[in-house]
Amino acid sequence: MTSEVAILNRHGVALAADSAVTVQIVKGNNDNNQKIYNSANKLFALSKKAPIGIMISNQADFGYVPWETVIKEFRESLAGKTYDFFNSYVSSFKKFIATSALFDASEDHDMDSLVSMTISRIFGKISEKEKELFSIHNPVTETQIRACIRNCANSLKSVAIQRLSSSVFSKSDISKLRKGKSKLLNERYITLFQKRPISKAVKDSILDSACVFALLPGQPRTTIALAGFGDKEVFPSVVELQTTTRFNGKMDLVETANVITPSAPALVKAFAQNAEVAAFLNGISNPLRNLIYETIDKTITNELPERIKQNISKKFKKFSEKEIKKLDSIYKNFGKNAYTEFVSLINTHIQNENVTNIMNTVSSLPLNQMAEMAEALVNLESFKKQVSFQAETVGGPVDVAVISKGDGLVWVKRKHYFQPNLNYQYFANKYPVGSNL
C-alpha cells in the first residue's frame, strides 16, 4: 500500500510519497502471503521542462508494465513540449496510456489474466448459490439447479449492464473482447462449468458478464495524482485519476480535480492510506466519528423512543394503542431531528475549529515548510503502522518534491538505488550541458 500527500497553495505544490510496496505471493489456495519492500518509486517529474509532478498508488503496474516505465515513456514523448493549461497535460497523459502502441502486448497479456480471473469469480459466486440451494433442499432436482444458475447469471448480467452503461466501453467492445478471447473463455468455461446443466443463453450471459467485469472490475486498479501549472496559469492544480483497464484504445477513468483560487487558497489532499492525515485535519479519526454518529443515531432515533413507548404502555394504561403509536412517531421524529442537529453541530465545529484554521495557515506557508508538512503527514501514517499491530504497508524513505511556477519541480528528498557520487555519467547523460530539456 501507500501513503501520499499533496499540499497546494498560491506559491506552489508540495508532494510526498513513501516507499513501501506490498507484493502478494499466491501459493496454492493461500492468498495471504505477502512481502513488503521499502524501495518503490512513486513520485516522478512528468516533464523534464514543465512544472508538473505525478504520483501513483495501489497497483504499481500498468498491465504488466511498471508505471515508472509508462511515466518515463510519456516524458520522452513530450520532448520538451509545454502546454498553456494544466488540463492539457492531463488529457495528453490520458490519451497516451489509452492508445500508445508501446503497451499493446502488455494489454493482451493483462486481458488474458483478467478474463480468466473474472470467469473464475463468477464460478465461485454460482457455486455459493448452489451450496445455499443444497442446504435448503434435499434432494435437489436438476430443474432447481438450472433455475439457481440462471438466476445467479441473470443477476450478474444486470450488474454488468449497469456498470457498462456508465463507462467509456460499449457493447461492441465487449463483443470484440469476447471474440478475441473466445478460445480462453471457452477453455475456462469447460473447465469450470462442464458438469453443470446450463443452456446456451445462460452460458452467453456468463461469458458476457466475465468480459464486462474484466474491463470494469468495480474498483480502481491504480490511483494517479498529477499536480502543477500550465504556462498561462499562476495558481496550481491537482487531478486524481482512478484507472481501471485499457482495451481497444479506451480506458475507463474517474477524474477529480482541485484548483487553487483566491477563494480556495489552500488544499491538503491525501491519497491511498489517509486515516492519520484525516485525523490530523479533522481533530478526530473518521472511524471514531462514524462510531459516535451511528451510536447516537441508534440511541435517540430507535432505542430511546422504543423504551419510552414501553414505559407508557406499562404505567399509563389509559392510553390506547393508537395514541401510543402516535407518541412513538412523535418521539422518533424528535430523535431524527435531534440527530441531524447533532451531526451538523459536530461537522461545523470540525470545519471551523480544525480544518479552516489549518487551511488558513497552509495558504501562507512557504514552499520549504509545505515540503516539511507533506513529509510529516506521510511519516505520521508510517509511524502509526509501526506502533500498531498492522502490517507496515507505509514506510521506507519519503520522497519529497516541490513545484513552483518559476523553478519547476525541485527535489527536496529523493532516494536513489545507487550512490550519486559514483555515477556522475548518469546525471551527465540525463541532463546534458546546454540541453533545452
CA distances for 76 relative to 72, 80, 155, 166, 210, angstroms: 6, 8, 46, 33, 36
| Cβ 74 vs Cβ 93: under 8 Å | yes
Query: How confident is the model over 83-94, as pLDDT tens digits?
Result: 999 999 999 999
Residue 328 and residue 246 share a domain: no
Predicted pLDDT of residue 57? 93
Predicted pLDDT of residue 404? 97
Q: How do 52-58 and 222-228 pair as beta strands?
A: antiparallel
Mean pLDDT of 47-72: 92
418 Cβ contact partners less than 8 Å away, ≥ 6 residues apart? 426
Residue 308 and residue 159 share a domain: no
Interatomic CA distance for residues 376 and 369, integer angstroms: 10
Predicted pLDDT of residue 361? 96
Q: What residue type is assigned to position 377 of the chain? A: L
Residue 121 and residue 92 share a domain: no
| Cβ 380 vs Cβ 276: under 8 Å | yes
Interatomic CA distance for residues 178 and 173, integer angstroms: 9
Query: Is position 188 within any domain?
Result: yes
Domain end call among 343, 361, 379: 361
Domain end call among 320, 344, 361: 361
Q: Which residue has the higher pLDDT, 28 or 248?
A: 248
Buried b vs exposed e over 203-214: b needs ≥16 C-beta within 10 Å? bebbbbbbbbbb
Q: How do 30-38 and 20-27 pair as beta strands?
A: antiparallel
Query: Is position 191 within any domain?
Result: yes
pTM of the model: 0.86
CATH number of the domain at 15, please. 3.60.20
pLDDT exceeds 90 at position 390: no
Residue 405 and residue 321 share a domain: no
Residue 317 and residue 234 share a domain: no
Q: Which of 295-299, 320-324, 412-416 has the lowest mean pLDDT?
A: 320-324
Residue 161 and residue 234 share a domain: no
Helix axes 275-282, 286-298, angle to 10 degrees: 70
- Tell which residue, 41, 193, 57, has the closest CA to residue 125: 193
Domain end call among 361, 381, 409: 361
Q: Report percent pLDDT > 90 for the chain.
A: 63
Interatomic CA distance for residues 189 and 183, integer angstroms: 10
Residue 203 and residue 137 share a domain: yes
Residue 236 and residue 87 share a domain: yes
- Highest-pLDDT range among 188-202, 337-351, 360-374: 360-374
Q: What residue type is assigned to position 194 of the chain? A: Q
Query: Is position 366 within any domain?
Result: no
Query: How confident is the model over 148-193, as pLDDT tens digits?
Result: 999 999 999 999 999 999 899 999 999 999 999 999 999 999 999 8
Q: What is the residue whose three cell numbers read 506557508?
A: 365
How many structural domains comprise the chain?
3
Residue 131 and residue 90 share a domain: no
Residue 25 pLDDT level (bands cut at 50, 70, 90): low
Residue 311 and residue 347 share a domain: yes
- Tell which residue, 367, 363, 361, has the closest CA to residue 403: 367
Neighbours of 255 (CB within 10 A): 12
Residue 149 and residue 167 share a domain: yes
Query: Is position 381 within any domain?
Result: no
Query: Is position 368 within any domain?
Result: no
User: What is the DSSP secondary-structure string of 349-405?
Assistant: HHIIIIIHHHHHHHTT--HHHHHHHHHHHHHHHHHHHHTTTS---S-SPPEEEEEET
Residue 333 and residue 197 share a domain: no
Mean pLDDT of 342-368: 95
- Tell which residue, 402, 391, 333, has the closest CA to residue 367: 402
- Tell which residue, 51, 7, 33, has the closest CA to residue 391: 33
Q: Which domain holds residue 37?
A: 3-99+221-265+391-430
